[in-house]
Amino acid sequence: MKTKTTILFAVIILFLNFSCSKDDISKGIDCVGESFFVKLKHTTDAANTKKVDFVIDYTGKYTLSSVKWTFGDGSTETVTGNTVSHIYSGAGTFTVKADVTIKNGKETCTSSQTKSVTVN
Counting DSSP H helices and E strands in the chain, the numbers are 3, 7
Per-residue model confidence as pLDDT tens digits over 33-84: 999 999 999 999 999 999 999 999 999 999 999 999 999 999 999 998 899 9
Residue type, position 104, single letter: N
Rounded Cα distance between 112 and 19, Å, is 7
- Interval 95-109 mean pLDDT: 95
Domains of the chain, start order = 2-119 (2.60.40.10)
Strands 76-79 and 107-119: unpaired
User: Rounded to the nearest 5°, which phi and psi values hold at 71?
Assistant: -90, 0
Asked whether the CA dihedral 25, 27, 28, 29 is positive or negative, the reply is negative
pLDDT for 109: 93
Residue 72: what pLDDT? 96
Radius of gyration of the chain (CA): 16
Q: Phi, psi at residue 16, to the nearest 5°? A: -65, -35
> In this structure, are residues 54 and 47 in contact, taking their beta carbons and an 8 Å threshold?
no
Q: What is the pTM of this model?
A: 0.74
Task: Give the C-alpha separation, 67 to 26, whole Å.
Answer: 22
